[in-house]
Chains A and B, each alone.
Chain A
């Protein structure tokens, strides 16, 4: 690799790490709020509060896991965490992305989900499914330990901020 290519690679890694950092910063600007009234679909099954709280809790756990894994991935991309963690981290992100689809399937307003999650539920679910597909592709790239390949995929695979800006309410406390 010549010096120019090396510098471009380093710049790209830095840009990716910054993008992940910005996404995480946005993620951390808020916490989970109280139940938010939302418009549920007319055909949505009725579930009681105890069950709804369990669904919200699962969503929160999935998002926390994604948050931790995204941080680790950002550190790997920036070279401050070992590349040996790449396969495990990307696999965990892919699993959490898949879990997020399942966790949001049932209409259960609350936590920090904005009303738009439920009023635009098909669009929201499409975004989550797209996330799961791309995260799976990233995990496959990560299995070979190729940091550059994962770095090239991760901004598109993890559109955290785009989704949070549209569908997640700010922290209330």
Chain B
């Protein structure tokens, strides 16, 4: 599992850089944020598969995920969507249907908190279920607001 400090640094950098006005910078910062989030998710999933349920490493991963779920609200400033010269997987619907996107973000944030609570409780079975639901929240958002990778 990757250490928490680089992930936190990436999230802070992502949050700070997202304030920049240049669309390419905003895209880079959110990509960095999502990579850090992916690393935390991977660490969490691997830990649970190895029988871990509430270790400090899992707690750190859960904290990183919650931090990302809060930071993500700043990762999509106006003007950072698809446009000539900017490579992004973000769909225009993020800004065109902002309430729906906000709902998807809220679902993710709520589920991230549920995962953190399950880690604190140390119940492996409950945690596995909450992690899957968190993945479901990711999928719901990707299906609607992210262009297909393949």
Q: Which residues of A contact B (CB under 8 A)?
A: 27-28, 30-32, 47, 49-58, 60-61, 64, 67, 102, 171
Contacts and interface: CB of A to CB of B under 8 A. Distances in A.
Contacts of B132: 47, 50-55, 58
B150 A53 contact: no
B124 interface: no
A54 B131 contact: yes
8 closest A-B pairs (Cβ-Cβ)? A54-B135, A53-B136, A54-B132, A57-B139, A51-B132, A54-B136, A57-B135, A50-B136
Contacts of A53: 132, 135-136, 139-140
A47 B136 CA distance: 12
Given A54-B132, A54-B138, A171-B150, 17 more contacts: A27-B150, A31-B148, A31-B150, A32-B148, A50-B132, A52-B136, A53-B136, A53-B139, A54-B131, A54-B133, A55-B135, A57-B136, A57-B138, A58-B135, A60-B139, A64-B150, A67-B150
Given A31-B148, A64-B149, A64-B150, A57 B142 contact: yes
A25 to B, nearest CB: 11
Contacts of B148: 31-32
Contacts of B131: 54
Contacts of B133: 50-51, 54
A147 to B, nearest CB: 27
Interface string B49-89: 10000000000000000000000000000000000000000
Nearest to A49: B136
A10 to B, nearest CB: 30
Contacts, number: 52
A30 B142 CA distance: 17
B129 interface: yes
30 contacts: A27-B150, A28-B150, A30-B150, A31-B150, A47-B132, A49-B136, A50-B132, A50-B136, A50-B137, A51-B133, A51-B136, A53-B135, A53-B139, A53-B140, A54-B132, A54-B134, A54-B135, A54-B138, A54-B139, A55-B132, A55-B135, A57-B135, A57-B136, A57-B138, A58-B45, A58-B132, A58-B135, A60-B139, A64-B149, A171-B150
For B129, B136, B138, B142, which residue has the most chain A Cβ atoms within 10 angstroms? B136
A51 B135 CA distance: 8
A28 B149 CA distance: 9
A58 B138 CA distance: 10
